[in-house]
């Protein structure tokens, strides 16, 4: 890792979208078209093809939750370093820690991480992360960080509710109050920025140790 931590900021600019197939699909298309600005966040009110891990669909009611994708050019973190696919392990851990820190700040310490990238409150799923990377040759060049967080939704499909592995829960259900989704988006951006800066400073080993300390097993 570089000894100097760069001044990065995720979520700037914030691009608001109404209905879209998937923020990850949109973000990756922006990168491939040469239109992407590192640090940008694409936030949608609704996704018609929201993407989860292993090809699963991410369920979310319109305007109720955080549905977003951040893009980051690795060269902006350290222009002198050759970023390799192996660096993705520590980075992924940092993102999970940042997402967990965001939700825990409002829901409390019972917020945990289910590997590789799910956020749980007790034994119920509160959020998910889908990181997709662009590699050119042997160099890792760009990353798309897709995040879905249940904020105000209180009714979920019977399929989701009856799933042992993902039985969803929202922050509103936990706290008994509604939240301003746009303000929560800003809090998430700040938590992720801090987590990435910590990873760049502390390195993979400490970041992965911190992740493991907050992980739970869901059967």
> Mean pLDDT of all residues in the chain?
88
Q: Quick check: is 51 in a domain?
A: yes
In degrees rounded to 5, what are phi and psi of residue 177?
A: -150, 155
| pLDDT for 195 beyond 90 | yes
Query: What is the count of structural domains for the chain?
Result: 1
Q: Taking residues 81-93, report their average pLDDT.
A: 95
- Assign residue 152 the CATH number of its domain: 3.30.930.10
pLDDT of residue 3 exceeding 50 = no
Residue with tokens 């000894």: 3
Q: Name the percent of the chain lying above pLDDT 70.
A: 86
List, edge to edge, every strand of the sheet that includes 14-20: 14-20, 41-47, 66-73, 139-149, 124-136, 118-121, 111-114
Q: How confident is the model at residue 2 (pLDDT cuts 50, 70, 90)?
A: very low
- Residue from 14, 42, 72, 38 nearest 148 by CA: 42
Specify if 3 maps to a domain.
no
pLDDT tens readout for residues 30-76: 999 999 999 999 999 888 765 554 445 556 677 789 999 999 999 99
**Choice between 161 and 100, residue whose per-residue pLDDT is larger:** 100
Res 103: pLDDT: 98
In a 13 Å sphere around the CA of 147, the CA atoms on its Cβ side amount to 29
> Is residue 50 one of the residues assigned to a domain?
yes
- Residue 5 maps to a domain: no
Dig out the tokens for 174 from the structure. Answer: 């936990």
Span 137-155, mean pLDDT? 95
Domain around 206: 14-213
Query: Helix (H, G, I), strand (E, B), or coil: what is residue 95?
Result: helix
- Residue 155 domain-assigned? yes
pLDDT at 173 over 50: yes
Neighbours of 61 (CB within 10 A): 15
Q: Could you tell me if 161 and 154 are in contact, meaning their C-beta atoms sit under 8 angstroms apart? A: no
Task: Retrieve residue 202's tokens.
Answer: 């502390």
**Per-residue model confidence (pLDDT) at position 156:** 84
pLDDT, residue 52, reads: 52
């Amino acid at each position: 890792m570089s000894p100097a931590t760069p001044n990065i900021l995720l979520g700037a600019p914030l691009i608001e979208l109404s209905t879209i197939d998937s923020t990850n699909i949109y973000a990756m298309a922006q990168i491939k078209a040469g239109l992407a600005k590192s640090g940008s966040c694409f936030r949608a009110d609704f996704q018609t093809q929201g993407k989860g891990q292993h090809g699963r669909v991410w369920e979310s009611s319109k305007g109720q939750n955080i549905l977003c994708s951040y893009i980051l050019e690795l060269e902006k973190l350290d222009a002198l370093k050759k970023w390799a696919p192996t660096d993705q392990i520590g980075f992924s851990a940092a993102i999970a820690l940042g997402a967990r820190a965001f939700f825990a700040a409002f829901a409390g310490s019972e917020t945990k991480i289910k590997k590789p990238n799910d956020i749980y409150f007790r034994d119920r799923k509160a959020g998910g992360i889908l990181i997709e990377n662009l590699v050119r040759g042997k160099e890792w060049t760009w990353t798309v960080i897709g995040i879905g967080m249940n904020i105000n939704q209180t009714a979920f499909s019977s399929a989701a509710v009856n799933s042992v592995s993902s039985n969803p829960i929202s922050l509103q259900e936990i706290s008994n109050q509604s939240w301003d989704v746009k303000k929560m988006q800003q809090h998430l951006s700040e938590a992720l920025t801090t987590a990435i800066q910590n990873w760049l400073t502390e390195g993979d080993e400490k970041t992965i140790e911190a992740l493991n300390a907050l992980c739970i097993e869901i059967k």
